[in-house]
Structure 1
Amino acid sequence: MSTDTLDLDDGTADRALLDARGLTLLVFTSQGCPNCRQAREALPDMNLNVDRIAWVDAGRSGGLVARYEVFHLPAMFVIRDGVYYGAVQASLAHWDISRQVALALDGYPAELP
């Protein structure tokens, strides 16, 4: 499956996520974070079962950081067809992220934060 990527911020995220069909992995990162750089390099090549990876620079999007209650970086969240399925607590390993995304999709959906 080909994975698209997009860069979002406080001004673009809501509309883009609400309109996106399929599965989005929303990832918060920061330029000064070594684990974030690793995530930014590794995630697009993991061939995850998602339609897109949406990146948010936490240092430039304080509103999204607050609404999604981001306390550590990188932070990942699952959104399908504009509906929020929650956080993904996983290591940067394909098997772990895939499992946690599937578990999130088994939960109850909610409105986007």
Structure 2
Amino acid sequence: MQYMLLIATSEAVEATMDQHALGEIIAAYGPYTNAMIEAGVLVGGERLRESTTATTVSIRDGKTQLLDGPYADTKEQLGGFYIIDVPDLDTAISWAARCPSAHLGSIEVRPIWPM
């Protein structure tokens, strides 16, 4: 079954972090991603640019509305994602717990609902 690991951290907290500590977290993603590849569970994943670069699109009363930035003002912002293919939720949770940003923010585990 496929799951998406949504990586949410606070951009404000990251901006105030010691650059060495932040660099260690970023560097930890290489081995983490390689472990997923070696385990044969990685389907895909990407980093996302800062939430300030987002454009939110909605349709209201038949008119397209654009909002610069993310839809919701939250403490944490979506910073990236992985899609993994594992046997069950427990295994997906195990991979989420190994994510370097789990110590800084949160990792939401969501099952993929195939179309």
TM-score in terms of structure 1 length: 0.33
Bigger radius of gyration: 2
More helix by share: 2
TM-score in terms of structure 2 length: 0.33
Which structure is higher in RCO with an 8 Å CA cutoff and minimum separation 6? 2
More strand by share: 2
